[in-house]
């Protein structure tokens, strides 16, 4: 079966790939296990060198990659560079240079005196074969944020790109194979839900899924049947809180970019904007003026700010969310026009005010160029409104007082909170991304993202192997008395009790007999 990649701006076919037969998944996993054994045996520095070559290849062919992303995904070329190429190259550089230190064996300090004859370590070892299922909205940056640390940690990877952006996924494979990664160590499977389900059920050692909460729930349920560990980065409804002392011009520009970048098809998009009632009118007017100047068009056109919506189904979801909000009293401040001319699906970036909290637009992930603005009376109300969502991926607070902003950030239920910025933290290699509530489990990027790719293994050596341990058999009244006294010595808060128990221990230990 052939999967066709369609340009969302024109409806034209960009290219095609062959779908992977479900009955081939088992063999692919088996081959990956064999390849992983050899790969993990390589020095970490050797693995890093190979991935650096991959980064050099991506850098040299970045124009080919960005043009393909724009055609296949619909995003403007500027965003293909800023939100895909640059973060991806940063991930490669970061993990290639820092993984050795982060995965270094760690000595365990043993605190109990009776166990001081032991020497212990924690080692970080590869999981084995990991599966990565990635979405269409960031077809390069999202998968590479997991592929690179997975390979650096010594794993084999089976990667399923979205069926809507299979060509970018295929290009990742081409580049990795060109620099020496074997096709068995890094394999690509193409297809829809049936192929994804087969991967989840294949016996891999961990699955990394990025996508909607609804699909993530199905993935988790399926993975539970085989007890396959899963890391889920799911949907969100990110809140932006604009306090009365915020710079209105800067906050309006940040809200506009945060809501409409990649046509709003971003998991960390600003999907709810809460503004202090004292500045709401000025903020909304600033937004209106700025948004009116945005240009909608094919992403391949250098002057386009807002590209096409990925497909008809998503186009209709966005339309329904706006319609529901306006039917309940929301007013369109700017935008709200829909177009399907020329085979593409376009929506003018839309700002709505007076949006009811019970509207779909305020409760469900919209994933489109829509920004609902709601006024609040005080900070407590703003925090409550932001936390009312079932999602919790990220949020932002805008204020002239950054210390106060950080204090408020601690009250928000989200995996990440930024002060006076939005979204860009996602591209910081040293940072961390991950949600709470229905936004998922697990973490990507930074040290936490690398540790998701390994298993922590405890090693211990007894340095006095001929010594019989006090806690071994035989049990008797003497041994019981010894441990009662030892407990006082180890944990009593009274210094006099500790000293007294110490003097009692010496004669007791001489009377203990072991089998």
Instruction: Give the residue numbers marked as catalytic.
Output: 233, 267
The structure tokens 């990025």 sit at 210
Torsion of the alpha carbons at 188, 194, 197 and 201, rounded to the nearest 10? -90
Do residues 103 and 132 make contact, with C-beta atoms less than 8 angstroms apart? no
Q: Strands 230-233 and 206-210, how do they pair?
A: parallel
Instruction: Work out the end-to-end distance of the chain between its first and last CA atoms, rounded to an integer number of angstroms.
Output: 69
CA dist., res. 374 & res. 356, Å (int): 8
400: its two tokens: 């002239």
The structure tokens 């389900």 sit at 197
Q: Strands 238-242 and 454-462, how do they pair?
A: unpaired
The 10 Å CB-count burial string (b at 16+, else e) for 395-404 is bbbbbeeeee
* 419 bridge partner residues: 397
Sign (positive/negative) of CA torsion 478, 480, 484, 487?
positive
CA dist., res. 421 & res. 250, Å (int): 9
Do residues 117 and 464 make contact, with C-beta atoms less than 8 angstroms apart? yes
CA dist., res. 195 & res. 188, Å (int): 11
327: its two tokens: 């039917």
């Amino acid at each position: 079966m052939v999967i066709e990649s369609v340009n969302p701006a024109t409806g034209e076919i960009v290219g095609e790939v062959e779908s992977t037969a479900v009955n081939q998944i088992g063999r692919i996993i088996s081959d990956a296990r064999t390849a992983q054994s050899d790969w993990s045996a390589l020095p970490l520095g050797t693995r890093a060198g190979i991935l650096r070559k991959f980064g050099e290849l991506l850098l040299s062919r970045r124009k080919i990659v960005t043009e393909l992303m724009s055609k296949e995904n619909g995003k403007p070329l500027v965003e293909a560079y800023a939100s895909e190429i640059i973060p991806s190259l940063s991930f490669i550089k970061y993990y290639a240079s820092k993984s050795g230190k982060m995965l270094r064996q760690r000595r365990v300090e043993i605190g109990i005196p009776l166990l001081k004859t032991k020497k212990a370590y924690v080692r970080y070892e590869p999981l084995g074969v990991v599966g990565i299922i990635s979405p269409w909205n960031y077809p390069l940056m999202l998968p590479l944020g997991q592929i690179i640390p997975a390979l650096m940690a010594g794993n084999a990877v089976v990667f399923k790109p979205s069926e809507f952006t299979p060509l970018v996924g295929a290009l990742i494979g081409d580049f990795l194979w060109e620099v020496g990664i074997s096709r068995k160590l890094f394999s690509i499977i193409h297809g829809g839900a049936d192929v994804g389900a087969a991967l989840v059920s294949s016996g891999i050692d961990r699955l990394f899924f990025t996508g909607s909460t609804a699909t993530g729930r199905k993935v988790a349920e399926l993975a539970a049947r085989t007890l396959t560990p899963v890391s889920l980065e799911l949907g969100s409804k990110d809140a932006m809180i604009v306090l009365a002392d915020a710079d209105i011009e800067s906050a309006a520009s940040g809200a506009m970019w945060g809501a409409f970048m990649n046509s709003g098809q971003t998991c960390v998009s600003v999907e709810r904007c809460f503004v202090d009632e004292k500045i709401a009118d000025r903020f909304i007017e600033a937004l209106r003026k700025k948004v009116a100047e945005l240009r909608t068009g094919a992403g391949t056109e250098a002057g386009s700010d807002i590209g096409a919506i990925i497909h008809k189904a998503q186009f209709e979801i966005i339309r329904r969310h706006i319609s529901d909000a306006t039917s309940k009293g929301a007013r369109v401040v700017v935008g709200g026009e829909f177009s399907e001319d020329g085979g593409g699906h376009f929506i003018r970036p839309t700002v709505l005010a007076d949006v009811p909290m019970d509207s779909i637009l305020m409760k469900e992930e919209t994933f489109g160029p829509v920004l609902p603005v709601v006024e609040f009376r005080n900070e407590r109300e703003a925090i409550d409104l932001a936390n009312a969502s079932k999602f919790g991926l990220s949020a932002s607070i805008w204020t002239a007082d950054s210390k106060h902003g950080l204090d408020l950030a601690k009250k928000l239920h989200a995996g990440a909170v930024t002060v006076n910025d939005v979204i860009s933290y996602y591209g910081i290699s040293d940072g961390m991304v991950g949600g709470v509530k229905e936004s998922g489990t697990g973490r990507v990027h930074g040290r936490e993202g690398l540790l998701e790719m390994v298993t922590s293994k405890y090693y211990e050596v007894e340095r006095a192997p001929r010594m019989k341990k006090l806690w071994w058999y035989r049990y008797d009244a003497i041994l019981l008395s010894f441990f009662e006294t030892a407990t006082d010595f180890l944990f009593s808060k009274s210094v006099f009790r500790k000293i007294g128990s110490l003097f009692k221990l010496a004669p007791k230990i001489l009377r203990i007999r072991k089998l």
